[in-house]
């Protein structure tokens, strides 16, 4: 079923085209990721496709009675409680389960008009994920999610039987979820999808095609340069000869010299080598630091001792609200500890790239924010803005006209231009495009200072940090063996342990004081338990088989839809088998029957 069909779309900002002649079709089973540089028009395209704005050219058609769920960057929730907002047109228990998995389980009764932007987005996402659609359109759904919630979102999106259109910069999600990738690059649109049985994800196809395009562009540019050199030599063969040359040939030669083919894609072009203030042998030391926010009874950071030395690459992970940003604030000196001491070396210069960003004047121009009070920009200032892809008219653009991602890129520029030697990055991957993220990763690889990163982006952490600290929400800060993967494994084991403990507690609470006889003979009960175990094993194997087949189904929409439905039925069968086994096990335990 075709859910969205768009043909010949075009859109532009003042003095700047975004894309033109763009066509895309979203059918049931499609899982399409949209990537591109900040400001290239990704969110604009989503708004056009969902009817929130009209294109400058082209048209959009939707399937008859198509149900399309939309998550915008700044969703608006109905007034009321979080529970009520998420459970519109859906069973309350489903909404509560989704809210819990997205980190909002402790805020079910909170008022929606008192939520932060990130909290409101999680509520809106939960409401979408527990309902049935013909297609979902999600704009940056991983922003403001912790690692547990992102893992849940990945699993959910990967098993969707309906269409998906997704803007995200989380490479792990793109690789796990997408069957196609739409790339927007300097006004052009490219569709990438895997070819062959072992071609991988849509994201993998995008990377392969982009590499090929860059190589072709580089080869074409080299051919142009060689031809230009020959034409330049021809033009310089002396005045007498030049006066008799055909004017058309002269004009063609000049155009060839002046013209340049489209530059290769921007990956790696961003100029982040801005220098750094020298850092001495002493960095930042925290000794027995405790901090509690006003109105809270338990400490956010408790008895933390931490030494940051030159060359350290530290990642900080933990669920939302655990105190990760507070720890960065303590290191930066934005807040003071209640007890303990924090000492900073005499040469320490801190650069803090936080979630909120700088307080930028929306009426101020980009170049004025960069040059500050210096008056006229220097050559270095101009080169710096161009290297961050603020070139031409975009240097004179008011900050208020920039996209969210462009503002984040400007904030990164303003942080690095001050040449810090201790760099604190709080959720740096939110809203930054893939090119900027790769360039930042390359920059940090050889950067001589201290880096402390709070992030829920597994790929970014894997590539930039050497050590991981975990906060669990109880104030404790501890080192984690095995990095991000080790921490996720810990979290998974804790969840399983908690589930087992809860089941045991429930069984214990209902266990009678005296052993009761089972309703059936012990031999019959053992047989039923054996049948339930075999049913669980069979259902588990079927679910695993369908999951693997779904991952390798490529872009066959009908097959994806069929497999999604079969997987849903298999998971239901597995849940029923598990429930049956638990009932029988409880009955056997109540009767004192050994079922081992």
pLDDT tens column, 559-588: 766 776 677 777 777 777 777 776 777 677
- Residue 122: its pLDDT value, please? 92
What's the rounded Cα separation, in Å, for the pair 1 and 26?
A: 9
In a domain, 304, yes or no: yes
In a domain, 219, yes or no: no
Pairing of strands 2-13, 16-27: antiparallel
Q: What is the mean pLDDT of residues 33-61?
A: 92
- Residue 165: its pLDDT value, please? 95
Indicate whether 58 and 137 sit together in one domain.
Answer: yes
Q: Does 248 have pLDDT greater than 70? A: no
Indicate whether 477 and 526 sit together in one domain.
Answer: no
- Residue 5: its pLDDT value, please? 94
In a domain, 250, yes or no: no
Q: Which CATH number characterizes residue 469's domain?
A: 3.40.50.300
Average pLDDT, the chain: 80
Number of domains in the chain: 3
Q: Does 8 have pLDDT greater than 50? A: yes
Indicate whether 435 and 567 sit together in one domain.
Answer: no
Indicate whether 460 and 383 sit together in one domain.
Answer: yes
Q: Does 344 have pLDDT greater than 80? A: yes
Q: What is the mean pLDDT of residues 504-530?
A: 54
Max mean pLDDT range (3-7, 211-215, 234-238, 363-367): 3-7
Q: Does 205 have pLDDT greater than 70? A: yes
- Residue 277: its pLDDT value, please? 64
Residue range of the domain that includes 396: 284-486
Pairing of strands 284-291, 301-308: antiparallel
- Residue 357: its pLDDT value, please? 60
| pLDDT band at residue 533 using 50, 70 and 90 as cut-offs | confident
Single out the residue of 184, 186, 182, 203 nearest to residue 194, CA to CA. Answer: 203
In a domain, 306, yes or no: yes
Q: Going by C-beta distance under 8 Å and a sequence separation of 6 or more, which residues neighbour residue 413? A: 370, 384, 385, 388, 390
Indicate whether 481 and 519 sit together in one domain.
Answer: no
Least-confidence region, from 127-131, 446-450, 474-478, 513-517: 513-517
Q: Does 417 have pLDDT greater than 60? A: yes
In a domain, 527, yes or no: yes
- Residue 85: its pLDDT value, please? 92
Show the 3-state SS of 282-313.
Answer: CCEEEEEEEECCCCCCCCCEEEEEEEECCCCE
Indicate whether 470 and 527 sit together in one domain.
Answer: no
Q: By percentage, how much of the chain surpasses pLDDT 90?
A: 27
Residue ending a domain, choose from 208, 228, 255 = 208
Q: Does 83 have pLDDT greater than 50? A: yes
Residue ending a domain, choose from 176, 193, 208 = 208
In a domain, 237, yes or no: no
Indicate whether 462 and 569 sit together in one domain.
Answer: no
| pLDDT band at residue 509 using 50, 70 and 90 as cut-offs | very low
Indicate whether 475 and 380 sit together in one domain.
Answer: yes
CB atoms within 10 A of CB 286: 20
- Residue 159: its pLDDT value, please? 87
Q: By percentage, how much of the chain surpasses pLDDT 70?
A: 78
Instruction: Give the pLDDT confidence of 306-320 residue by residue, as tens digits.
Output: 999 888 889 999 888
Indicate whether 417 and 543 sit together in one domain.
Answer: no
DSSP string, 545-570: HHHHHHHT-TT-HHHHHHHHHHHHHH
| pLDDT band at residue 10 using 50, 70 and 90 as cut-offs | very high
Least-confidence region, from 93-97, 229-233, 261-265, 394-398: 261-265
Query: What CA–CA distances, in Å, run from 182 to 57, 188, 192?
Result: 19, 10, 6
| pLDDT band at residue 503 using 50, 70 and 90 as cut-offs | very low
Indicate whether 136 and 61 sit together in one domain.
Answer: yes
pTM given for the model: 0.66
In a domain, 429, yes or no: yes
Least-confidence region, from 12-16, 207-211, 416-420, 516-520: 516-520
What's the rounded Cα separation, in Å, for the pair 518 and 34?
A: 58
Indicate whether 53 and 201 sit together in one domain.
Answer: yes
- Residue 502: its pLDDT value, please? 45
Least-confidence region, from 39-53, 67-81, 237-251, 482-496: 237-251
Single out the residue of 473, 479, 480 nearest to residue 301, CA to CA. Answer: 473
| pLDDT band at residue 262 using 50, 70 and 90 as cut-offs | very low
- Residue 144: its pLDDT value, please? 83
Residue ending a domain, choose from 184, 208, 232 = 208
| pLDDT band at residue 367 using 50, 70 and 90 as cut-offs | confident
- Residue 198: its pLDDT value, please? 53
Q: Does 512 have pLDDT greater than 50? A: no
In a domain, 249, yes or no: no
- Residue 584: its pLDDT value, please? 75
Least-confidence region, from 1-5, 220-224, 279-283, 318-322: 220-224
Indicate whether 528 and 433 sit together in one domain.
Answer: no
- Residue 263: its pLDDT value, please? 46
């Amino acid at each position: 079923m075709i859910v969205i069909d768009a043909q010949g779309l075009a859109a532009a900002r003042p003095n700047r085209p975004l894309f033109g002649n763009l066509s895309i079709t979203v059918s049931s089973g499609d899982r399409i990721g949209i990537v591109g540089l900040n400001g290239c028009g990704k969110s604009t395209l989503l708004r056009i496709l969902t009817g929130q704005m009209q294109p400058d050219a082209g048209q959009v058609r939707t399937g008859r009675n198509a149900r399309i769920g939309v998550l915008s960057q700044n969703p608006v929730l109905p007034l009321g409680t979080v529970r009520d907002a998420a459970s519109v047109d859906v069973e309350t228990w489903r909404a509560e389960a989704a809210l819990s998995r997205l980190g909002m389980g402790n805020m079910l009764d909170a008022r929606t008009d008192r939520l932060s932007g990130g909290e409101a987005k999680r509520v809106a996402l939960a409401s979408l994920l527990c309902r049935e659609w013909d297609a979902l359109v999600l704009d940056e759904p991983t922003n403001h999610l912790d690692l547990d919630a992102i893992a849940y979102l990945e699993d959910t999106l990967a098993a969707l039987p309906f269409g998906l259109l997704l803007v995200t910069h989380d490479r792990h999600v793109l690789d796990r979820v997408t069957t196609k990738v739409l790339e927007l690059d300097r006004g052009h649109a490219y569709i990438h999808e895997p070819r062959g049985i072992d071609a991988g994800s849509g994201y993998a196809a995008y990377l392969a095609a982009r590499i090929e395009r860059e190589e072709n562009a580089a080869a074409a540019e080299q051919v142009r340069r060689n031809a230009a050199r020959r034409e330049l030599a021809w033009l310089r063969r002396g005045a007498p000869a030049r006066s008799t040359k055909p004017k058309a040939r002269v004009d063609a030669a000049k155009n060839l010299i002046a013209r340049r083919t489209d530059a290769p894609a921007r990956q790696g072009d961003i100029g982040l080598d801005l220098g750094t203030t020298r850092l001495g042998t002493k960095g930042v030391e925290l000794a027995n630091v405790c901090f509690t926010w006003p109105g809270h009874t338990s400490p956010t950071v408790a008895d933390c001792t931490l030494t940051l030395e030159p060359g350290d690459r530290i990642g900080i992970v933990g669920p939302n609200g655990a105190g990760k940003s507070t720890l960065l604030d303590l290191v930066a000196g934005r807040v003071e500890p209640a007890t303990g001491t924090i000492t900073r070396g005499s040469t320490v210069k801190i650069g803090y790239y936080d979630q909120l960003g700088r307080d930028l004047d929306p009426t101020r121009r980009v170049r004025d924010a960069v040059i500050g009070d210096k008056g006229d920009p220097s050559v270095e200032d101009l080169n710096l803005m161009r290297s961050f892809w603020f070139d031409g008219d975009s240097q004179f653009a008011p900050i208020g006209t920039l996209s969210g991602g462009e503002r984040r890129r400007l904030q990164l520029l303003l942080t690095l231009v001050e040449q810090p030697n201790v760099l604190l990055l709080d959720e740096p991957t939110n809203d930054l495009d893939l090119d900027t993220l790769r360039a930042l990763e390359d920059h940090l690889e050889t950067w001589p200072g201290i880096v402390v990163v709070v992030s829920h982006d597994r790929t970014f952490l894997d590539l930039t940090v050497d050590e991981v600290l975990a906060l669990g929400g109880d104030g404790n800060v501890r080192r984690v063996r095995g990095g991000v993967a080790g921490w996720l494994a810990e979290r998974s084991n804790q969840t399983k342990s908690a589930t087992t403990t809860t089941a045991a507690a429930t069984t214990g609470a209902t266990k009678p004081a005296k052993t009761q006889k089972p309703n059936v003979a012990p031999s019959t009960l053992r047989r039923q338990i054996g049948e339930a175990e075999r049913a669980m094993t069979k259902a588990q194997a079927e679910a695993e088989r369908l999951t693997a087949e779904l991952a390798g189904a490529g872009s066959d929409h009908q097959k994806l839809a069929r497999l999604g439905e079969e997987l849903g039925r298999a998971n239901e069968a597995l849940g029923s088998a598990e429930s049956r086994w638990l009932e029988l096990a409880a009955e056997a335990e109540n009767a004192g029957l050994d079922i081992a």
